[in-house]
Amino acid sequence: MFLSIVLLISGFFLLTKGADYFVDSCSKVAKALGVSSLIIGLTIVSFGTSAPEAAISVIASLQGNNDISISNVVGSNLCNLLLVLGVSGIFGSLTVKRKIVFRDMIYSVFSYIVLTILTFGFFLEGKDTGVLTRTNGLILLCFLAIYLYALLIDAKRSNVEKEERPKIKIVDFVYIIGEILGIAIGGELIVESATSLAKGIGVSDNVIALTIIAIGTSLPELVTSVIATKKGETDIAIGNVIGSNIFNTFFVLGLSSALSPISYGVDTMIDILILLVVGLIVFILVLKNYRIGRKKGPFLLFLYVLYMIYILSR
């Protein structure tokens, strides 16, 4: 068990460091191409901070550890909405632009609705276990493509200053490849050690994925959003969380189930419904005055504590 804990910590270290450097490298390349900070937050940074979830879910799916594969995404999304936004709101006021609310936040809620529809079918058929098929995975990836196309159109319409752009070097792409390898190795270590740890302490892979792994893979979002909030870069802070959740649902689950079908049970279905409800709650809170501050932040943290109590008690 001690070795599993050491490997788990080592995996998280590789994931967070790899994702951190990956974000920096990709952001540098994006800025060199003249992409705005908002688009970078919604795409490059979001994809980079979602890399840990992608690595873990894809590896878990290929290995047949389905509880880890899907619960990691659902747990991470809930952690982003409640823990990351809650802590960020405590450190400073998150002012949300109207465009983010009526495009990106609505699309993130839409992603939860799509996931709920795709996973709810087995209940209607009276089965105990559902499956995210390869077709479902392709559907999720298609919705991601639509979102990216919308962002691409927006990027072309944005007026971005062309001065002081960093130059793209071959070494930047070498770094990116190395960082992706670090993320992949970290994901492998976490899946193996978490599975071993779950068996050792007698809890399910589902609980481990929704708690330890979900919080661990959300560390990049948490650190990025808190630092961005303290620096006044609220576009990156909120865009990182919303974009990351969209990537988690459409890209991570889409790719994982397209490569290998993912089975799930009733508990997972309940978690997905909770994610949908939480997504709607956050949307309503933001819609009120386009802000998450020191009142809404603690409330979101309170909801996350309630969810953790529920997970550990079931």
Listing DSSP states for 60-85 in one string gives: HHHHT-HHHHHHHHHHHHHIIIIIIH
Cβ neighbours of 274 (radius 10 Å): 17
Determine the average pLDDT of the residues in 238-258. Answer: 88
Per the prediction, the chain carries an average pLDDT of 80
Average pLDDT for 174-202 = 73
Average the pLDDT over 202-221 and give the result: 77
Question: Cβ contacts of residue 161 below 8 Å, gap of 6+?
Answer: none
CA 49 to chain centre: 7
Cα-to-chain-centroid distance, residue 213:
12
Contacts for 181 with CB less than 8 Å, ≥ 6 apart: 18
SS3 38: helix
* 40 confidence band (pLDDT: 50, 70, 90): low
Beta carbons of 8 and 197 less than 8 angstroms apart: yes
Three-state DSSP class for residue 26 = helix
Distances 57 to 50, 195, 230 between C-alpha atoms, Å: 11, 13, 31
Percent above pLDDT 90 for the chain = 27
pLDDT at 240: 73
pLDDT in tens, 152-175: 787 666 654 544 556 667 777 777
122 to 29, 80, 109, 309: CA distances (angstroms): 44, 28, 22, 27
Query: pTM of the predicted model, to two decimals?
Result: 0.79
CA dist 52 and 215 (Å) reads 11
Residue-range domains of the chain with CATH:
2-159+169-313 (1.20.1420.30)
What 3-state class would DSSP assign to 264? strand
The pLDDT tens digits for 70-98 are 888 999 999 999 998 998 888 877 777 78
- Name the phi and psi angles at 164, rounded to 5: 55, 40
- pLDDT, tens digit, 9 for 90 and up, residues 94-142: 777 787 788 889 999 999 999 999 998 777 777 778 899 999 999 999 9
pLDDT of 144 higher than 80: yes
Q: Is the pLDDT of residue 282 over 90?
A: yes
